[in-house]
Structure 1
């Protein structure tokens, strides 16, 4: 009886151990299956995707800034192209007058070219001036007075050119001038300009100089 009970208990313990062993095997197999499925889960790649998005955004931002710069550059280029496409002023487009620039002995005058049309025009270069019949060469131009940008005159707008007549000395070969000739760049039409003052002006053709046309007279660039 005791031997039979002992055998029964042994069998029960053995069965229990076998059942636990089988359960453990099944749990291990399930764990393996779960572990094998883990690499396919997208959660691990999520931070990398966010980082890529940040880099992309930064790159996009830099590209956008670059585009803006390029756009600004092209806008500046477009402005220059627009100025270059503006028709050049002719003698028929402007009225040229002269006024004294300083006091006695009046060594300088200022030429004003005013656009008298209803459209814009571009005033290029400098005035080609001949003061006296005995001196047929154009008055020399001062390079430092050349403006950096094209001079575009809208309707009614003026441009200026400073002109030196002489050094103001008593031993100069001055000649009295009551009117003189001016021509615009690329236009052979002669514009007759009346000299300022009732008695005209005194000019030494060998000392005379002219500045370029500019929207306004500038200290330094137009001092000569």
Structure 2
């Protein structure tokens, strides 16, 4: 039995230590994902799942193929055959994505805590907790960072410790997305990542200058949702 609180604590530590190892590749993919931000935000509006999480799942499950369901990469206009099987057909990619997040395990739309550690753990559970059960970093999260070297489930129940996951992980992609879009945050707070030496330190939407319009907007949002 995997202790999800312990997993969240482990992912939080890994996040603070994570450094991209395939930065140029991650930046290229992140730019492609970011261009589709409005589509991901439309699904966020219906599910409550932050759009960057939806975007990186889309990349992991189908390399951002808009013909493929967010749930498992099967065509969304047909009944799915892979787990979760029997879903669809749907009228659009968005409809299939909403179904995947609302009606399919691990039911990400039910998650209320989207702080960094909780978000990473939610993403890991979307792929499965087999890696956590082994006490190893999940490539679904950490491939493309210094937190992952090797180890991959090559098929259901079969783990190869020497196999390297060639896809970039969700954490690597989120780091790259954050470098493109300073508005990205979880639960209305700034990321817990320590800024790199070349990170911008000036004001942004999530860290606006005092008295600016950005500060007014942030304070208004906090007042509406009761966040301090």
What is the TM-score with the length of structure 2 in the denominator? Answer: 0.20
What is the TM-score with the length of structure 1 in the denominator? Answer: 0.20
| Structure in which a larger fraction of residues adopt helix | 2
| Structure in which a larger fraction of residues adopt strand | 1
